[in-house]
Structure 1
Amino acid sequence: MTTDVTDTGVGMIRSGFLGGGFMAQVHSRAARAAGAAMAAVASSSPQRAERAAQQLGIGRAVGSVEELLAGDSDIVHICTPNATHASLALQVIAAGKHVICEKPLATTLVDARALADAAAERGVVAAVPFVYRYHPMVREARARIAAGEIGSLLTVDCGYLQDWMLLPTDDDWRATSASGGPSRAFADIGSHLCDLLEFVTGDRIVRLTARTRRVFDERGGHPVANEDAVAILVELASGAIGTLLISQMAAGRKNALTLELHGADASIRFDQERPEELWVGGREENRHLFRDPSTAHEGVARFSRVPVGHAQGYQDAFNGFVADAYAAVAGEQPDGLPTFADGVRAAQLTEAVLLAAREERWIDVGALDT
């Protein structure tokens, strides 16, 4: 069982941060909740680093990546634009420091694999925040499926819908610059959906076909470089088939990540906008299960971070992820910690989706390993 203790045997974990935007806020809150010392932050300029240090309560601002890596940080959180992840993570690993890198781990499968290999060779903890794994009811769904409670998996009906890019005036660096990479909707949120599907079911997507859509060719006067929405048909290793819909232009949907799994005996559904519950469906009755450590499957209770009746949400899930990453630094082996291997898997699926859409055919995902 992991805890929020960050003593590695040589003192408290010291956390460094690259980037000072929204995700750095989330990462730094989680690091603080885990009891880490907030060592240093570097950003795109010394001025932004100073501002981030003040806003995030981080000990000191440094003027460059090199200066941060020369310091005493034990682990570095990379919270910078997508296209910078691979080069920065490689520098962190080369410096012998543990690393938590925002997803996508890299914008190409080749780079993602190189990072995973480098981390393994150097022997550092290398994690990617697929944090929806850390909702207690996600773990409950996973435990119930592993126990055979829904029977053999038949079909899946999944989605991840947002509306923050609904209007032509909605602009973001992810859409209109090389910093975002070749995929936006899938790499940004579809990767979370696929990770959750495979993690909860213990099954893998082996074949897929996809269609992508770019609704506006320009946003804010800049050409759009990637997709707004993706529809995917999947076949899993078990033979189960299903649909995945990913969109950043679904009016009214703020963060609707849904996972509905249909088994031979029962169905189960998780909705990230209602994270405290699971829907369980059967021929004779439907019911809702609510988070309760006293009735949870073995191993699930540790993910409940507040008492029953006090809602847990996204930041709690993120806090659980960072606590597990820090526990791994201390020598533990937390169940379900998403690592660079999972980041490679996301990159593999991203390339498969883009290839399927471009060539309008089914793709054997495993063939991308060759």
Structure 2
Amino acid sequence: MNDSTTHRPGDATPPRVVILGTGMIGEVHRRAALLAGAQVIGAMASTPERSEAVAGRWRTTALRSLDDITRLAPDVVHVCSPNGLHVEHVEAALAAGAHVICEKPLAIGSRAAEALAATAADRNRVATVPFVYRYHPLVREIRSRAAQGEFGRWQLLHGSYLQDWLLSPSATSWRVDAATGGPSRAFADIGSHWCDLMEFVTGERISSLVAATTTTVAERPATSSRSFSASTATGGTLKRVDTEDAATVLFRTDSGVLGSVTVSQVSAGRKNRLWFEFDGEHRSAVFDQENPETVWLGSQSLAEVLQRDPARGTSEQRRLSVLPAGHPQGYAQCFENFVADTYATVRGELREGLPTFQDGVRSAHIVDAVLQSARTGQWVDVQRPLVALRATAV
């Protein structure tokens, strides 16, 4: 927040926010911002014409350039633009004195991500990344139980993240093009979520990995369509695909635990299936993001299904359960809780488990390692930040 209007704990002043990028995920950010009490004071799309059109629908101001951020002086800027624009957009937001929520990947490449995190810390800005699957209440339940030793030493960590929105050869998006989306697509886009969730829940950290990637559709239409939509481009010029449709990664953690993850955007019938099984010496836990109201917990003598319930379980599970038991909540509530926690942190209120730019840097190092291993066929160590980043002050 600008230094002249910094919120204090308990300050109920609605944050003033600007949203850069107004596609599918920009709409999700806007909804979560409004539900958290924010005032959307500006929006910028891919062209001035589109910015005017979206601003008209959203009943806000259209930004014609990044210079308008300084003029509008928002408290928080949501960066929802294509990956290749993240560095420029985050830098402009920080230069204007705003706190930042930036979509992942934070940047294309770990060096650029580290630079953004360092700038945010130097400017004393709250800077977060929407690894929102952390906000499923039962994910927090498993994490708390793991920290209390219920599962014992981890034996095996495995899972997948599968989608089918790019199954059709006529489906495309800006994400497919390495020039706008970065050299990794499927893994950077969704594999990053799985790895963040695994490390968040288990406390383990991936130390080394070997990866393989595949591009199953060699060419796609050059004209982009809306991400995750049913629409596909027809006719016109085809363009060679230079990003992966799927990837498999085998990894070891710092403590020597073996794990694996498979990611795909071409798995028929799988809409957004993030799934994990974490096997400990005493118990195992299974979570499926498409069915987030229950988790499976198993031991050698017993298997049980645990339901989300705001009246039971650990404090974080209860805090994030915004609906009564039996009233399903899912991705939308995760995003809403993440945005609300970011705004609370801006006000100076501490929130557990908030994913920050440092988590974005961590993810960028894992993506770099996956790309290097896929090129060489060799095991690769996941690099640590070149300089330890101090925690962002709140």
Which interval holds the TM-score relative to the shorter structure? over 0.9
Q: Which residue of 2 aligns with 1:254?
A: 271
Q: Which residue of 2 aligns with 1:323?
A: 340
**Contact 1:6–1:35 (CA under 8 A) maintained in structure 2:** no
Alignment of 1:89-168 (within 5 A): 89-168=90-169
Between 1:173-182 and 1:105-114, the stretch displaced more is 173-182
Matched, 1:81 2:82: yes
1:353 to 370, 374, 378: 370
Q: Which residue of 2 aligns with 1:46?
A: 48
The alignment's TM-score, normalised by the length of structure 1, stands at 0.95
Deviation digits for residues 159-214 of structure 1 (CA, Å, limit 9, x no counterpart): 00001111211111111351011000000000000000000001100111000111
Shift of 1:90: 1.1
Identity %: 47
Going from structure 1 to structure 2, the CA distance change for 1:191 and 1:153 (only over 3 Å counts) comes to same
Q: Which residue of 1 aligns with 2:249?
A: 232
Q: State the SS of the aligned residue for 1:149.
A: coil
Shift of 1:238: 2.3
Going from structure 1 to structure 2, the CA distance change for 1:235 and 1:369 (only over 3 Å counts) comes to farther
2:280 to 263, 269, 275: 263
2:18 to 5, 16, 41: 16
Deviation digits for residues 292-320 of structure 1 (CA, Å, limit 9, x no counterpart): 12221133211011111111011100000
Q: State the SS of the aligned residue for 1:366.
A: coil
Q: State the SS of the aligned residue for 1:70.
A: helix
Take 1:14 and 1:335, find their aligned partners in 2: how far apart are those partners?
A: 24
Take 1:125 and 1:58, find their aligned partners in 2: how far apart are those partners?
A: 27
Q: Which residue of 2 aligns with 1:340?
A: 357
The alignment yields a C-alpha RMSD, in angstroms, of 1.7
**Contact 2:297–2:304 (CA under 8 A) maintained in structure 1:** yes
Query: Number of aligned pairs?
Result: 365
Q: Which residue of 2 aligns with 1:218?
A: 219
Q: State the SS of the aligned residue for 1:60.
A: coil
**Contact 1:182–1:225 (CA under 8 A) maintained in structure 2:** yes
| Structure 1: gaps spanning 5 or more residues | none
Shift of 1:145: 0.7
Task: Give the AA of the match of 2:325.
Answer: V
| Structure 2: gaps spanning 5 or more residues | 1-6, 222-237, 388-394
Take 1:170 and 1:310, find their aligned partners in 2: how far apart are those partners?
A: 34
Take 1:91 and 1:120, find their aligned partners in 2: how far apart are those partners?
A: 15
Q: Which residue of 1 aligns with 2:37?
A: 35
Q: Which residue of 1 aligns with 2:181?
A: 180
**Contact 2:103–2:129 (CA under 8 A) maintained in structure 1:** yes
Q: Which residue of 2 aligns with 1:72?
A: 73
Alignment of 1:186-201 (within 5 A): 186-201=187-202
**Contact 1:154–1:240 (CA under 8 A) maintained in structure 2:** yes
Take 1:138 and 1:252, find their aligned partners in 2: how far apart are those partners?
A: 24
**Contact 1:18–1:65 (CA under 8 A) maintained in structure 2:** no
1:297 to 307, 311, 314: 314
The alignment's TM-score, normalised by the length of structure 2, stands at 0.90
Shift of 1:11: 2.9
Q: Which residue of 2 aligns with 1:242?
A: 259
